């Protein structure tokens, strides 16, 4: 597995993941690129720096677990798995194709590295909490990481899981909220407001940190902070931009669940390739 040595390398990897997302969703003619792009920096940090995992031994017992609660952004998970060595990168272009292992939402057992089948929004944190609880019972030392969308926090099941995790002191559980402020219906605050978000998590008994979700240094520091938790679960709220890295996709809810056309694909790839060159 390739491990990034510094922030510049991680930023370069994040932009490579973004290119993969654009290419695979464009080839499929469908998918969810907007929220995938906003999550790219976090995923680069997790898979290429923070998490303990072995692509050549996907079921290694000592691995950290990752649950993609917002399962519709499967493209960014698939890109992270492929680029870190779980399966050939070329397979990414089979996304959503008949008989492909890369389903529109992650399916456990279909693809190495997928820990949990997700896509029904609101369920991921409950599953991650159960995995963290099991690790505590079995005296295992790994961490469980869970990526949530901000729109899905409108689902009550998340807050039941939040209460459970705090009650049982699951300090091996780290949740991330991709706070890009947009969902398929528009602005989260117009659909159903979730603010004051940080105060809500604190009220449920969690340690809370809010950061710039596109700042590699801040993401690394926040992950290190979360690993030092004692007796409480941690949540990191990532202030992000939906469609981050592609000018015409940024803050554009239309690209929540729409792929680029050929002209847009070419433009997006050009912008991201230019950004990669600048990663020094």
Its domain, for residue 37, covers: 7-277
Please tell me the total count of domains within the chain. Answer: 1
Query: Residue 2: pLDDT above 70?
Result: no
Nearest by Cα to 150 from 206, 114, 97, 189:
189
Residue 128 in any domain: the answer is yes
What would the pLDDT profile of 48-96 be if each residue is shown by its tens digit?
Answer: 999 999 999 999 999 999 999 999 999 999 999 999 999 999 999 999 9
Residue 2 in any domain: the answer is no
Residue 61 in any domain: the answer is yes
Residue 1 in any domain: the answer is no
Kindly state the DSSP code that residue 46 receives in the 8-state scheme. I
Query: Poorest-confidence range of 12-21, 37-46, 139-148, 270-279?
Result: 270-279
Supply the pLDDT for residue 279: 79
- Decide the pairing of beta strands 234-239 and 207-212: parallel
Mean model confidence pLDDT for the chain: 96
Residue 11 in any domain: the answer is yes
Mean pLDDT, to the nearest integer, of 171-185?
Answer: 97
- Burial of residue 137 (CB within 10 Å: 0-12, 13-18, 19+) is exposed
Mean pLDDT, to the nearest integer, of 25-33?
Answer: 97
CATH number of the domain that residue 29 is part of: 3.40.50.970
Residue 162 in any domain: the answer is yes
| Integer Cα distance of 273 and 255 in angstroms | 20
Query: Residue 280: pLDDT above 80?
Result: no
| Integer Cα distance of 100 and 12 in angstroms | 28
Mean pLDDT, to the nearest integer, of 102-115?
Answer: 96
Q: Are 49 and 220 in contact (CB under 8 A)?
A: yes
Supply the pLDDT for residue 1: 53
């Amino acid at each position: 597995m390739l491990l990034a040595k510094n922030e510049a390398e991680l930023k370069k990897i994040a932009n490579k993941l973004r290119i993969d997302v654009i290419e695979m969703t464009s080839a499929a003619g469908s998918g969810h690129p907007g929220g995938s792009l906003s999550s790219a920096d976090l995923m680069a940090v997790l898979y290429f720096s923070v998490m303990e995992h072995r692509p050549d031994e996907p079921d290694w017992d000592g691995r950290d677990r990752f649950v993609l609660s917002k399962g519709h952004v499967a493209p960014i998970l698939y890109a992270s798995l492929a680029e870190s060595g779980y399966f050939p990168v070329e397979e990414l272009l089979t996304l959503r194709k008949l008989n492909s292992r890369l389903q529109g939402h992650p399916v456990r057992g279909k693809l190495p590295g997928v820990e949990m089948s997700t896509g029904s929004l609101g369920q991921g944190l409950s599953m991650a909490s159960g995995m963290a609880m099991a690790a505590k019972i079995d005296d295992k030392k790994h961490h469980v990481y869970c990526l949530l969308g901000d729109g899905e926090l409108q689902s009550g099941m998340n807050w039941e899981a939040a209460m459970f995790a705090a009650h049982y002191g699951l300090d091996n559980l780290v949740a991330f909220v991709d706070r890009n402020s947009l969902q398929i219906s528009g602005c989260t605050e117009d659909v159903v407001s979730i603010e004051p978000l940080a105060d809500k998590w604190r009220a449920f008994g969690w340690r809370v940190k809010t950061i710039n979700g596109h700042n590699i240094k801040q993401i690394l520091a926040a992950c290190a902070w979360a690993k030092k938790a004692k007796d409480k679960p941690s949540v990191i709220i990532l202030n992000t931009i939906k469609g981050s890295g592609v000018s015409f996709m940024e803050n554009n809810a239309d690209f929540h669940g729409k792929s680029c056309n050929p002209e847009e694909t070419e433009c997006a790839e050009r912008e991201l390739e230019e950004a990669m060159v600048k990663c020094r």
